A and B are shown apart, each in its own frame.
Chain A
Amino acid sequence: AQSVTQLDSQVPVFEEAPVELRCNYSSSVSVYLFWYVQYPNQGLQLLLKYLSGSTLVKGINGFEAEFNKSQTSFHLRKPSVHISDTAEYFCAVSGSGYSTLTFGKGTMLLVSP
């Protein structure tokens, strides 16, 4: 069984400041890791994914995440946020080669001017 923990339900930040959204997972098998973003009234959109290889993964909209196997973490970062980054962010895990996703509860990123 797999699980994902997103400890922060909300992260308020000022525009142009850096941000880190935390994600920890547990799994007994090798995993794929994902970050999805949900803008209001829209579906989930994939930001980035880790399948294998380099532990630093770059995604869309300037986001990146680092896979840390020893700490079972996959934190999402952006060096400078924009108002338009205000959204809910979900970390998810699947077993490698297996399709279904286990999601965290989500973190609401609130960017203010």
Chain B
Amino acid sequence: GAGVSQSPRYKVTKRGQDVALRCDPISGHVSLYWYRQALGQGPEFLTYFNYEAQQDKSGLPNDRFSAERPEGSISTLTIQRTEQRDSAMYRCASSTNPGGSEAFFGQGTRLTVV
């Protein structure tokens, strides 16, 4: 596609439910990143992939968070047993290659856990 596409744009879920957030990167982009942005803060790194391989997951806050990119294109960030503190904007970005100097961001998914 023309840009990075994230879905859904908004998600409201009840505490304890699982959610899956989807990211469709720019076609042909090798690297894909997930960030989380709390209100009033800058984005914080969660994890990233080169092709289908997860290169770094050091930013995932705990084992309720996981991500995959099975075919090296679309990625899913899954949060199990959601908690209110998981409420945030989740942003996906992609770049042409590893170490690429420009990351293109999607519009984000606003997650609200009630």
Q: Chain B 22-52, CB within 8 Å of chain A: the 1/0 string?
A: 0000000001010100001111110010000
Residue pair A100, B102 in contact (C-beta under 8 Å): no
Note all chain B residues with C-beta closer than 8 A to A51.
Answer: 101
Chain B residue contacts of A46, Cβ below 8 A:
102-104
Which residues of B in the span 87-111 have a Cβ within 8 Å of any Cβ on A?
Answer: 91, 93, 95, 98-108
A-B residue pairs, 5 tightest by C-beta: A103-B42, A44-B105, A43-B105, A43-B107, A97-B99
Choose among B31, B101, B106, B107 the residue that contacts A32 (Cβ–Cβ < 8 A): B101
Given B43, B44, B99, B102, which contacts A98 in the complex, CB threshold below 8 Å? B99
Query: Which residues of A approach B to under 8 Å, CB–CB?
Result: 4, 6, 9, 32, 36, 41-46, 49, 51, 90, 92, 97-106
Q: Closest CB of chain A to B92's CB: distance in Å?
A: 9
- Taking a contact as CB atoms under 8 Å apart, the answer to whether A99 and B43 are in contact is no
* B100 lies within 8 A of A43 (CB): no
Main secondary structure of the interface of B (DSSP, over half): loop
B interface residues with partner A (beta carbon < 8 Å) = 3-4, 31, 33, 35, 40-45, 48, 56, 59, 91, 93, 95, 98-108
Beyond A42-B107, A46-B102, A51-B101, whether A106 also contacts B42 by CB under 8 A is yes
Given the contacts A32-B101, A44-B105, A105-B42, A99 and B31 also touching, CB distance less than 8 Å: yes
Verify A99–B103 contact, CB threshold 8 A.
yes
Inter-chain CB contacts under 8 Å: number: 60
Q: Are the CB atoms of B107 and A99 closer together than 8 Å?
A: no
Q: How far in angstroms is the closest Cβ of chain A from B7?
A: 13
The answer on a CB contact under 8 Å between A99 and B4 is no
Q: Tell me the complex Cα distance, A9–B55, Å.
A: 33
Q: Once the chains are docked, how many angstroms separate the CA of A106 from the CA of B99? A: 24
Residues of chain A within 8 A (CB-CB) of B42 are 4, 6, 90, 92, 103-106
Q: Which residue of B lies closest to A102 (CB)?
A: B45
A49, B101: Cα distance in complex, Å: 8
> What residues on B are CB-neighbors of A32 within 8 Å?
101
Give 25 A-B contacts (CB < 8 Å), ordered by A residue.
A6-B42, A36-B105, A43-B3, A43-B105, A43-B108, A44-B43, A44-B91, A49-B102, A51-B101, A90-B42, A90-B43, A97-B99, A99-B31, A99-B48, A99-B95, A99-B103, A100-B48, A101-B43, A101-B45, A101-B103, A103-B42, A103-B43, A105-B40, A106-B41, A106-B42
